[in-house]
Structure 1
Amino acid sequence: MLKILGRASSINVRKVLWACEELGAPFEQEAWGEGTKSPQVAEFKALNPNALMPVIQDDDFVLWESNAIIRYLANAYDGDWLYPQRAQARGLVDQWIDWQATELNTSWRYAFMSLVRHSPAHQDPRLLAAACKGWNYTMAILNHQLEKTDAFVAGKDFSLADIPIGLSVNRWYETPMDHPELPGVRAYYERLTKRKAYARWGRNGMP
């Protein structure tokens, strides 16, 4: 039985939960504490030396890093429709998954820590303004892509790339800041919401 270790409040854990639901992969979830705050920290570090969620156990196989996990799940649970085998189609999916992990994820870090986590170390007004501007800039890049496809991020079909991107779109809208009008992103947000798994793990009130 596939086991997912991590709390559903984590955006990276929700990637895995959403992917499992799309794939129809049965799983058990254990909501361990986050990272080094976990009372099972020594046991958890034996699974992931970074002490970060999520981790999966698929029988005797252990894997960490959320994007590696969702790729594995698509490969292991008949997810060719979600993560295509053809090199060019898969390349586009991987491109947007990696873009989310690097450019988009990096752009939101300061603003999210300031406005949602209320971190005392992230309250410099100038840095916050710059972070919000940078986050909106990367979202405009996404908007341009979505206006080209008029569907999903890697093309006309829903794919594995839409899982990290869709969760990121929800985080942007759920963060209390000025959001420029991005019609492609807004239409995409509504389109994803028609998927039951996204309504459960994505657009569910958690940033």
Structure 2
Amino acid sequence: MLKILGRSSSINVQKVMWCAAELGVEVERADIGGKYGGNDTPEYLGLNPNGLVPTMEDGEVVLWESNTIVRYLAETRGGPPWLATDAAGRGLASQWMDWYLTRMHPPMTVIFWGQVRTAPGDRDREAEKKAAGQAGRLWRLVEAQLEKHDFITGGEPTIGDIPIGCSVNRWYLLDVDRPALPRLAAYYERLKERPAYREHVASITME
């Protein structure tokens, strides 16, 4: 059975668990990292020298980096619509996965850490406000993409929706001044209609 090492509250673990559930993959998950610890043991570092989560064990295959694991699952257990059959479609989905990682993840992390993992007296509210402005501008790019179709790359969800879909959940849970983005809000509602998304993303408490 596929094993995922990482706590459910990690957004990176959520990516993998949501993807696996959509593909019908049975997963054995272990709480590692955060309040559970265990990510600094010699055994864990032997699997993932970064000491971060998630780590995937699939028989003799060991992978870390959540986007890589999502791609691996789609390639080994998936198919349309989650993994396009043509190179252009796969490239477009990967483009948005990488865009999230390089552009959206940094400002969203500043907001999340400030509001969820920092004591009120230690928060840098100016940094959070600046990051929220940056994120808002980036979410406008997603809004424009959603003018074309219901999901990030087309009429059905693909792996390109996985990172953005996990992040949009936090965008609507965090206390930020959000611009009016009706297509993004509708996208979030469509995602919440999916049982796998509700179980592994929308229902998980931020911590």
Q: TM-score, normalised by structure 2?
A: 0.92
Q: Contact 1:107–1:138 (CA<8 Å) still a contact in 2?
A: no
Unaligned runs of 5+ in 2: none
1:120 shift after superposition: 7.0
Residue in 2 aligned with 1:104?
104
Q: State, as a whole percentage, how many aligned pairs show the same letter.
A: 41
Q: In the alignment, residue 44 of structure 1 is paired with which amino acid? A: Y
Residue in 1 aligned with 2:203?
204
Change in 2 beyond 3 A, CA 1:28/1:136: same
1:122 shift after superposition: 6.5
SS of 2:147's partner is helix
The Cα offsets for residues 144-185 of structure 1, whole Å up to 9 and x where unpaired, read as 111222x00111121111111111100101111221210010
Unaligned runs of 5+ in 1: none
Equivalent-residue separation in structure 2 for 1:39 and 1:138 (angstroms): 32
SS of 1:28's partner is strand
Q: How many residues align?
A: 206
Q: Contact 2:9–2:204 (CA<8 Å) still a contact in 1?
A: no
1:88 shift after superposition: 1.0
Residue in 1 aligned with 2:175?
176
Q: TM-score, normalised by structure 1?
A: 0.92
- Please provide the CA RMSD for this pair: 2.0
SS of 1:147's partner is coil
Residue in 2 aligned with 1:156?
155
Change in 2 beyond 3 A, CA 1:190/1:39: closer
Change in 2 beyond 3 A, CA 1:116/1:34: closer
Which protein has greater RCO, CA pairs closer than 8 Å, 6+ apart? 2
Q: Contact 2:97–2:164 (CA<8 Å) still a contact in 1?
A: yes
1:17 shift after superposition: 0.7
Equivalent-residue separation in structure 2 for 1:153 and 1:121 (angstroms): 38
The Cα offsets for residues 17-65 of structure 1, whole Å up to 9 and x where unpaired, read as 1111111111211112349942762110000000100001101111100
Q: In terms of mean alpha carbon deviation, does 37-46 or 157-166 score higher?
A: 37-46
